[in-house]
Chain A
Amino acid sequence: MARNVAFDLNHPHMEAGLESPIDEEGVHDSFSQLIAEQSQNGGASDSDAFELQELQRQLDEEERDNVAFLSGPGREFQGRRQRDAEWEDADTQAVPLIGERWSSATLKILSSMPSRTIGRNRGAIISQYYNRTMQLRRRRQSRPAIRDFSHSARPSIRGYGIETDSADAEVSKRDRLVNNLQNLSVSDRIRMLRAMPLNVSEKSELRSLALQKEKHTLSRRIPCCSQLKYYIINGARQGWYSWLSFLHSLHLWQVPLKRVSGRFGSGVLSYFLFLKTLLFFNVFLFLVTGAFMVLPQELHPPEPSAGRPSFTGLELLTGAGYFSDTVMYYGYYCNYTLRKSCRDDGGVHNVSLSNGTMPDCVSKHLSYNMPLAYFFTIGVSSFLTCIILVYSMSKSFGQSFRIDKSHSILAIKTFCSWDFKVIKKSSVKLMSENICTQFKELLAEVSHKQVKNTRCQRLWRLMVHGLAWAICVASTTACVLAIFYCSSYMHKNLQFFLRSGVPVTNPQLNEASLLALPVLVSLINLLLPGLFNLAAWMEDYESPSVRTYVSIGRNLMLKVSVLGVLCYHWLGRVAADPTTIGLKCWETFVGQELYRFLLMDFIFTILDTLFGEFLWRLFSEKVLKRRRKPVFDIARNVLELIYGQTLAWLGVLFTPVLPAVQILKLLLLFYIKMSSVMMNCQAPRKPYRVSQMTTVFITLLCFPSFLGASVCVTYTMWSITPSSSCGPFRELKTMFQAGKRWVEELEKDNPNLSVLARAHSYLVENPFFLFVGAGIFLIVIYFHSQVVDGQRKIIGLLQEQIENEGDDKKFLITRLQTIHEQKRTPARRLASQNSNC
């Protein structure tokens, strides 16, 4: 790069000085070609070199160009450098760039530099995409085996097969792009085509050319095993795409979602999209549990127990009574292997011995080990849900994570704040007003520096915050203690009734009294967030995002503590000693409790929608005579959804049909909330950062919600003794032993599998394996973080290199300009001398 190039301005072909020297080939391949193309084509803005000559001829007579002030043109390739750093660098430069006036010729050259023209014309776009497809081909192409080449082949040919492309120098850029497209795989080609910023007709042309060529060229000789791999991978990819397109083509709720987004924008829409996501999770869960647990058990029902209560309406609320002994609950499931008997009276009526002794005429083919199926279904569905959640969380995080520099606030506000989804006229007007207000606020913030709070004011603010937090924490603790004492009171009550032997006078009243705890919890969930809102209003946060996060934090704290105390009550009290309250089957009882909680939550949400939104709007319009409707509180509603989903996940073990109940609830909730929002609410006035909030919500769904539920379920399966008289795991010490028992049976039937049995007992039961597994996992994570660190260092080095290139450019341009000036001044001096004489 440090060549001494003589700038010969009188040379008729000025563009010789502009051509990229050959040693830049590797990096700037497209640029040199692009320059050549431009100088050949001579497009509208490409005849600068010619113009430069023209200007030169005129410069001897004319005055100094009056060009606009331009500072430091050599700073094109700044990359991500901070502006402050740029100014500092400029000061330390030996060559004074600031205050320099560039001639119009220099400006023209600068503006037609290849890096600036990338977006401009078709040729540039095609060049850019040629490079990208070339890079993609290099990445995708695996090295062909050495044995495929003859012995005399040059070593360089053994490298990438790309060199075997025709290296015809006259082939235009477009044909090369078509060639590259043809050599990509189908999905890569489609992805490249779609992402090109050309119009559809040109893309169709490129595509048809690429496909035409593909028909003509023979396929390369691929060995059979990689062909098989190719088919498998291709088939799997096609299957996945067709599943995705099927899901997308369902167009679930497309019209209502469009109406909501048209009127309220992306913020409120994100709530309904979250609801849709939860619906799909539950549908998946229900399909799995339904297919592997509910359906087999329904087809082979156990003998009905005596004394089954008749159906009264109360069962729909309490889930007990008639529903107790149905496929809804854990207690109904058999603990033996279901076999299809020879007789046609449907079902197996053999005795329920734990090891499943067989009566005489039984077909061996269709047998179904119920306890094992129950255990594995719960395990596998939890595992798959975990994977899907972590995947969507990481994807969402990747899209929305940005180092929040306050540098580009106004620019981002200008270009990214208009929500193109909003189509209703009044909402558009409202959005314009909101944006205008936000601009005014931002301008006020930016132009007037923050007034430093005095010490007294800061202390006052600290006190207010402390007071608000104290109120919130105190109220949460009070409510949690209330739930704790209420539940222990009910527990003691039941124990008392059992011990005293008082006959049950009104079983229905007893059942209805079981609803007391769910009603209390739902009431707390309804009222306490209102208190938190009041506290936040008192605190008066300046930044709306801080306010949202604080509100989410407080609500989360409330719900986590409530669920914690409830889990302690069920798993710690009820499950530990079920006989003292007269329960033969504590799992069914817990399942019924969860059903009741879910249902009460739904009922109270409807009540809240009715009172909070509908009646409040009527009240504020008629009585308070205000025009403003209530605002839809997105964060609070999403947290309600997450709470309901946690209950559903907790309950799958005890109530396999609970996902179906949750599906019904979500469907009804969608329509109720949709109509309520359209009728009663208005769009939020504060700016709402959709992608950040969506990431936060899905993280909350994954971490406290799913993790907590799976920890509880794992604890139940690992440590708690199942009931001895009901359910698929009766007479086992823990539910976990179902797997162990199955392996023992396998070993008994087939002694050859003893190795497997021993391996199983070592792997699963020995905690050493878990430690080793966790250790390996941690080591893998550590390696990945080191790779990321290394990549970060490379990014730093590349940025330095870009800065150096920028400095080189500055140097060259200033030299060009000084020589230009030198050339001009003697000419002027000569001209003035001539005129003086």
Chain B
Amino acid sequence: MGNKQTIFTAQQLDSYQDCTYFTRKEILRLFDRYRDLAPQLVPLDYTCQPDVKLPYELIGSMPELKDNPFRQRIAEVFSDDGEGNMTLDDFLDMFSVMSEMAPRDLKAYYAFKIYDFNNDDFLCKSDLEKTLNKLTRNELTEDEVRMVCEKVIDESDLDNDGRLSLEDFQTMIVRAPDFLSTFHIRI
């Protein structure tokens, strides 16, 4: 079973195994999932490290992400070019961080990036408003959204600059034991 595959070299598989939270079998299974999105674009031979990027539309059509309101942000955060077009490395990275074995700090780092819509390394009020609207599908009134954003910043902003930095976010996540089980995609 182990040596019959010809997609990756042994070193590549070892390297993937050491850098992600997946075992060999899971990496091969994920490769199959990646290839199933676009069989004509993805070659069967990755030993020469081809430069293949799947466009965001294909990634966003995966059943695990299709109905997730944050799918675009997830793809953007994990893709190299920031547009959501993912190589196989990005794909593996994404599912490795979202797997159940990833530690809390790693997940918190990426969750912060996902919720940071304007990519300024801070969760400002507009980021929070966008997050809330995506969570509730725009069902909260503007007043309610504004109140919630104010209270959230009030609660978590430790250095009082009106926005949440990564440290504030991580300090808050430490107090939420459910974060590990909700920030998890099964693949």
Contact = CB atoms under 8 A, between A and B. Distances in A.
A199 B25 contact: no
A412 B176 contact: yes
A420 B98 contact: yes
A780 to B, nearest CB: 29
Interface stretch (A7-15, A155-163, A282-290, A432-440): A432-440
Interface in B8-28: 15-16, 18-21, 23, 25
B92 interface: yes
A443 interface: yes
A447 interface: yes
Given A423-B67, A440-B144, A443-B144, A266 B181 contact: yes
Most chain B CB atoms below 10 A, which of A208, A261, A416, A433: A416
A197 B67 contact: no
Contacts of B111: 415
A415 B166 CA distance: 13
Given A195-B105, A414-B135, A78 B23 contact: no
Given A73-B159, A261-B186, A208 B176 contact: no
Given A76-B159, A412-B176, A416-B178, A424 B67 contact: yes
Contact of A405 (B67, B96, B175): B175
Interface size class of B (residues with CB under 8 A): 35 or more
B121 interface: yes
Interface string B65-84: 11111100000001010000
B110 interface: yes
B44 interface: no
A444 B151 CA distance: 13
Chain A interface, DSSP helix/strand/loop, else mixed: helix
B172 to A, nearest CB: 5
B21 to A, nearest CB: 6
Nearest to B135: A435
Interface in B48-90: 63-70, 78, 80, 89-90
Given A414-B128, A414-B131, A433-B139, A199 B80 contact: yes
A327 B174 CA distance: 52
B58 to A, nearest CB: 17
A248 B10 CA distance: 21
A190 B18 contact: yes
A115 B19 CA distance: 27
A414 B152 contact: yes
Interface string A399-413: 111110101111110
Given A72-B160, A443-B148, A402 B177 contact: yes
B5 to A, nearest CB: 15
B182 A418 contact: yes
Contacts of B154: 83
Given A195-B103, A414-B128, A420 B18 contact: no
A690 B158 contact: no
B160 A71 contact: yes
A615 to B, nearest CB: 32
A70 interface: yes
Contacts, number: 196
Contact of A68 (B128, B162, B186): B162
A194 B185 contact: no
A208 B173 CA distance: 33
Contact of B185 (A86, A409, A420, A433): A420
B47 to A, nearest CB: 14
Contacts of A399: 177, 180
A412 B154 CA distance: 13
B148 A410 contact: yes
Interface stretch (A24-32, A116-124, A465-473, A563-571): A116-124
A768 to B, nearest CB: 44
A116 B169 CA distance: 12
B137 to A, nearest CB: 5
A70 B160 CA distance: 8
B148 to A, nearest CB: 6
B158 A78 contact: yes
B23 to A, nearest CB: 5
B135 A432 contact: yes
Contacts of B16: 200, 204
A584 interface: no
Interface residues of A, number: 77
Nearest to A258: B186
A439 B19 contact: no
B183 to A, nearest CB: 6
A420 B183 contact: yes
Contacts of B147: 443, 447
Given A411-B155, A416-B183, A418-B182, A440 B135 contact: no
A175 interface: no
Given A410-B148, A433-B139, A417 B182 contact: yes
A726 B102 CA distance: 54
Contacts of B92: 200
Interface string A252-290: 000001100110001000000000000000000000000
Nearest to A80: B171
A446 B151 contact: yes
B115 interface: yes
A446 B147 CA distance: 10
B106 A195 contact: yes
Contacts of A407: 155
B152 A249 contact: no
Nearest to A409: B155
A19 interface: no
Contacts of B96: 194, 200
A173 B121 CA distance: 23
B36 to A, nearest CB: 16
A70 B175 CA distance: 27
A116 B175 contact: no
B67 A412 contact: no
B6 interface: no
B184 interface: yes
A81 B157 CA distance: 12
A691 B132 contact: no
A439 B136 contact: yes
The interface centre, meaning the residue of B16, B102, B128, B136 with most chain A CB atoms within 10 A of its CB, is B136
A85 to B, nearest CB: 12
Contacts of B165: 116, 119
B152 A432 contact: no
A271 to B, nearest CB: 13
Interface string A190-227: 10011101011101100110000000000000000000
Contacts of A409: 155
A691 B160 contact: no
A402 B179 CA distance: 12
A432 B67 CA distance: 11
Contacts of A417: 135, 182
A412 B172 contact: yes
Contact of B156 (A193, A411, A443): A411
A689 interface: yes
B109 A119 contact: yes
Contact of B63 (A68, A418, A423, A691): A423
Contacts of A579: none
Interface string B95-120: 01010001101100111100100000
B19 A118 contact: no
A75 interface: yes
A418 B185 CA distance: 11
A419 interface: yes
A834 interface: no
A108 interface: no
A439 B140 contact: yes
17 contacts: A73-B159, A75-B158, A78-B158, A199-B78, A199-B80, A200-B19, A208-B15, A249-B25, A408-B155, A408-B156, A411-B152, A415-B172, A420-B98, A420-B183, A421-B182, A425-B67, A691-B180
Q: Nearest 8 pairs between A and B by C-beta?
A: A119-B166, A436-B136, A203-B19, A400-B177, A691-B177, A200-B89, A197-B109, A412-B176
Given A78-B159, A195-B103, 4 more contacts: A86-B160, A119-B112, A199-B90, A416-B176
